[in-house]
Amino acid sequence: MVCNRYGLTAESVMVSVAVVISSHGMATFGHQWIWVVGYWHAQMLWNQGWDRPAMRQYVWERAWRSQAHLKRIGAVIGEVAPEDETTRVYAAGSPEDIFIMAGGGDSGSYSEVIMIYHGVPAITNIINESSS
């Protein structure tokens, strides 16, 4: 869950999302993510002029950990090398691997992120409403 009650800017919400996905407890990186933007966060992002492609890019650029960090916590095997300190490992493979949708009601400043597990890519299907 992403609960950012205090930030007054769209950037503060997006940084919170980046921190959550790059701090995932499984320490897995390069996956696809779904960001379900809660009502209040969606209103803030929309009112401040953000669209999905720009949001994806902003979050992706900030959702990473250094190779050294991942080695120190045991997520990557091996001794820390000097170049590991500056080698970035991104939580998502690309900005397009962060799927964004709005959801929920007027219930507070909450959003949710869901990791899509390796080997199970997200598939988008158009659902047509029947006119019955």
Consecutive 10-residue averages of pLDDT for the chain (132 residues): 89 96 75 93 96 98 95 92 96 95 87 83 75 60
**1: which 2 tokens?**
């869950």
Identify the pLDDT of residue 26: 59
Task: Tell me the pTM.
Answer: 0.86
DSSP of the chain, one letter per residue? -EE--S--SHHHHHHHHHHHHHT-TT---SBEEEEEE-HHHHHHHHHTT--HHHHHHHHHHH-EEEHHHHHHTTSS-SPPPGGGGT-EEESBSSGGGEEEEE---SS-SEEEEEEEPTT--------PPP--
Q: What is the pLDDT of residues 47-74, one digit of tens each?
A: 999 999 999 999 999 999 999 999 998 8
Identify the pLDDT of residue 36: 96
Identify the pLDDT of residue 101: 94
Identify the pLDDT of residue 72: 93
CA angle 92, 25, 62 (to 5 degrees): 35
Alpha carbons 41 and 108: distance in angstroms, whole number: 9
Q: What is the CATH number of domain 2-65+91-116?
A: 3.30.2320
Domain boundaries, the chain: 2-65+91-116
Identify the pLDDT of residue 49: 98
Q: How crowded is the C-beta side of 57, counted as CA atoms within 13 Å?
A: 5
